[in-house]
Structure 1
C-alpha cells in the first residue's frame, strides 16, 4: 500500500493551466466515480481550489502513473503540459504535505485559514461518496488536529490575510480612498464574503453583489447593505462599478471583452479595476488589453503576498515543528497496521489450540478421569504448545551464533 499526493498549484503552474485541471461541483461526483470504478485508487480525496488541484489517494505500489494518466484523461489535457508542473509525494512525505497545506504553510498567502475549510469540505464530499476508508479517514482527522494546533499554538494567523485581503489591498493601491468607490462583487461564496468584509472595513461608497442564484446574493447583500442582481443583469450595472472582484465556480468566463468595452463607453473611459480570483477564470484574459481596464488575476497578487510571508516566518517555523510531530504520530499508527494481521493470526492460533485441549480435557473429565491428572495434562500440553515456537527460535539463533537475533527473541518472550 502507498499513500500518494499528486498535485498542481500556484507555485508550479500558471492559472491558465490550473484552470484546465480544476474540478467543479458539476463534475466532482463523476470524477470520484471514474477513479474508483477503474480501480486506480482504493481511497481518494480530491482538493480543488483556485490555487491548487490535489489528489490524495491510497494506491498499490507502482500505480502512481495511472493516477496521472487518469487526471490527464479526465480533463482531456496533454500529458506534456502537466509533466513539469505536477508534484508527487509518497507516504510520510504525502502526510507532511497535506498537513502543511491544511496549516496554511503551502498557501499563496502564508497562514491563510480558508484552505482548512476547503480541505474539510473536500474530505466530507469524499466520505459522502464512500471514497474514504480507514487510512484516509485517519490521515485527514490527524491533519485537522495538526491544523488546529498550528492555529492555537502559533501566531501564524495573526493579522489574518487571504487572497481576498490581498485583492482589497491591491484596490487600495489603485484608489487612494476606497470610501469613494463603487464595487461589484461577482459570486456569493466564502471568498467573496471575505472580500465584502474587508471592503466594508474600508467604508466603500456602494457594494453590489451578482450571483447565479439571486437568493444567495441577497443573503450577502443583507449582511453588508449591498444591492443584488443575477449574473444576467451584470451588463446593465457594470458601468457603475469602479472595482470588480469576481470569484465563482463558473466553468466559463462571465465577463468578456465586449462587455467591458460597453461599460467603459458609458463611463466615458473612466478606468475600471478588475480582480479575477476564480479558477477557471471569470473574466476573459483579453479584457486586460483594453486601455482603461486594469485586470489582475490570483497570480498577480503574489507581490502583496510576499510581504506577509516575512511577517509570519517565525510562526511558520514553529508550525513546521508541530507538523513534524503529527506526521510522526500518523506514521507510527500506519506502521502499527502492519502488525495487526500478525497479532490476530497469532491470537487465533493460540485460542484454537486452547479450545482443542480444553475440549479434550472436558471429555476426559466426563469419562471419569482423575481431576488432578486432567488439569496437569491440560497445563503441560498447553504450555508445550505455546513455548514450542519461541524455543525453536532460541535454538536456531544459538546454533547460528546470531546474538542480535537471540536478544530480540529473549525480549519478545519476556526474558529480558
Structure 2
C-alpha cells in the first residue's frame, strides 16, 4: 500500500475547525497507539501545529478518516469537507513541500521543519516508524536542508515581526550583546520575541498595561516583565525598542527618549513602531541617535522579501518535484528487486524439487533419456503455470493492457519480432 497523507490546514479549514482536529503534544503517543490498533497499521506519524494537522502512513484513506473523526468526536462528513489527501509520489512531494515551508501561511517559515522532526521523533519513540516512514522522513529532511542551502527561501522577511528583527540585525552586528524592550504582549510582540531569541538576544524586557499579561509572555522567553508606567525607568537599558499595542495615544514621547539617550551617553537606539495608531511620537525620529521605523517603513522590506521568497519558492518546488520523483523511482526499483528475488527463489524451489524426483528415479534404474525429457516437460509446465493462468484471466476479462504487459514480461513480443525479422530476411 502506498504512503498516504491525510490532513487539514489553514487553507482547507478555519481555525474553529482546525482546533477541533488538533492533537496536544501530550496525547500524540496515545493517539498513535489507538490508531495503529484500530487500523491494524504498523506505521503512522502525526504532525499537529496551530496551522495544520496531518497524519502519515501506509493505510487506507477512508479508514483513517473514520478513525480521525471518531477520535475527535466529529462526523465523517464534517471532516471530509475540510480534509485533503495525497498518496504515493504526491504524498512524498507534499511532505517535502511542507518541510520546506512551501505550504505554510508565511512562505518559507523555518519553524515547520523542527515541528516535523519532532513528529517523527515522537512516532519513532512510540514504535510506529518502520522502514517505509523512516525512509520517507529521511528524504524529507534531506530535501528541506538542500532547499535551505540552495535557495533564499528563508532569508527575506515576509512578516512585520520578522522585518522588524531583520532591520535590527542590520543596525547591530551582534544582537546577543543587546537588550530589547518590547511594548505590548499580543501575538505580534510574541512573534517578535521569538525572532529575537533566534537571532541571539538574551536580554528581553516586556512592558504591558497589565502586569499579569506581561509576566505570562515573559516567562515563555526568559524575559523581565514591567508595567507601561515603568518604561522611563528601564528605557536607558534598551538598545532595541519594538512596540505594538492597541493604545489610542502615544506611549513613548520625545522627552522620555531624550532623557534615556543622555543616560546612555548617546549610544544608538533602534525603534520600530508597529502600532496603528502609533505608540511612539513621530518627533522621536528627530533625535540624532534614534533609528525609528513605522509599519509603513517596513512594508517595502516585506514586499521585497515576499517577492524574493516567491522566486526562491519556484526553485524550491523544482527541487522538491525532482527529489520526490527520484525517491519513488528508487523505491520502485527496490520493490522490483524484491519481486525478482521472490520469483527466482520460487523457480529454484521448483527446479530443486523436480531434480530430486528425477535423481531418485535414476537411482532406481530409470531410463536417463526418458527422465531428462520428463524433467524438461515438468519444469516447463510448472514454471509457466502461474503466467498462463494470469494470461487466460486477462483474455477472458478483455483486459488488453494486462495481456500486452504479460506478453512483454514473458518475452513473446521480442520472440515474435525476431521471428518476423527472420522471415523477412528469408
TM-score, length of structure 1 as denominator length:
0.62
Distance 1:392 1:414 in 2: 16
CA positional deviation for 1:311: 0.7
Matches within 5 A, 1:3-402: 3-12=3-12, 18=18, 21-39=21-39, 42-70=42-70, 72-73=72-73, 86-152=83-149, 154-157=150-153, 159=155, 167-170=161-164, 181-182=180-181, 195-198=196-199, 200=201, 207-208=203-204, 263-267=227-231, 307-332=304-329, 346-347=343-344, 349-369=346-366, 374-387=371-384
Q: Which moved more, 1:369-378 or 1:37-46?
A: 369-378
* CA displacement 1:68-104 (0-9 Å, x = unmatched): 414533xxx8989867654444444333221111122
Q: Is the 8 A contact 1:264 1:270 kept in 2?
A: no
Q: Name the larger-Rg structure.
A: 2
Question: 1:21 and 1:292 mapped to 2: Cα distance?
Answer: 41
| CA positional deviation for 1:149 | 3.6
Q: Call closer, same or farther: CA 1:185–1:125 in 2, change over 3 Å.
A: farther
- Contact 2:2–2:58 at 8 Å: present in 1 too? yes
- SS in structure 2 at match of 1:59: coil
Listed one character per residue, the Cα deviations across residues 331-379 of structure 1 (whole Å, up to 9, x for unaligned) are 4466678878976775565344223211212212322445565445433
* Whole-angstrom distance in 2 between the partners of 1:268 and 1:401: 86
Distance 2:44 2:3 in 1: 10
Distance 1:381 1:29, change over 3 A: closer
Offset from partner CA, 1:8-45 (integer Å, 9 cap, x none): 43445566765565434322222223322333755321
Q: CA deviation at 1:155?
A: 1.6
State the Cα distance separating 1:185 from its structure 2 match. Answer: 12
Give me the whole-angstrom Cα distance separating, in 1, the residues matched to 2:358 and 2:192: 73
Gaps of 5+ in 1: 201-205, 211-233, 249-253, 276-286
Rounded to whole Å, the distance in 2 between the matches of 1:58 and 1:397 is 29
In structure 2, do the counterparts of structure 1 residues 66 and 235 end up closer, same or farther at CA, with 3 Å as the change threshold? same
Does the 8 Å contact 1:112/1:161 carry over to 2? no
Cα RMSD for the two superposed structures: 5.4
Do the aligned residues in 1 keep the contact of 2:158 with 2:303 (CA within 8 Å)?
no
SS in 1 for 2:103: coil
Partner SS for 1:26: helix
Assess, with a 3 A threshold, how the Cα gap between structure 1 residues 37 and 394 changes in structure 2: closer, same or farther: closer
CA distance in structure 1 between the aligned counterparts of 2:388 and 2:101, rounded to whole angstroms: 54
Question: CA–CA distance in 1 between the matches of 2:383 and 2:368?
Answer: 23
Structure having greater relative contact order (Cα 8 Å, sep ≥ 6): 1
After superposition, the C-alpha distances for 1:207-260 in whole angstroms (9 at most, x for unaligned) are 1499xxxxxxxxxxxxxxxxxxxxxxx959959x9xx67868xxxxx99xxx99
Counterpart CA distance in 2 for 1:386 and 1:54 is: 46
Report how far residue 170 of structure 1 moved. Answer: 3.8
On the 8 A contact 2:43/2:129 being kept in 1, the answer is yes
Structure 2 residues without counterparts, runs of 5 or longer: 173-177, 186-190, 236-240, 252-272, 276-294, 415-426
Partner residue of 1:218?
none
- Contact 2:109 2:154 (8 Å CA) reproduced: no
CA 269–392 in structure 1, closer or farther in 2 if over 3 Å, else same: same
Paired residue secondary structure (2:44): strand
Alpha carbons 2:43, 2:133 under 8 Å: kept: yes
Distance in 1, Cα, partners of 2:29 & 2:192 = 23
> Does the residue aligned with 1:131 lie in a helix, a strand or coil?
coil
1:407 to partner: Cα distance: 5.2
Q: TM-score scaled to structure 2, two decimals?
A: 0.60
Structure 1 residue 171: Cα displacement: 6.3
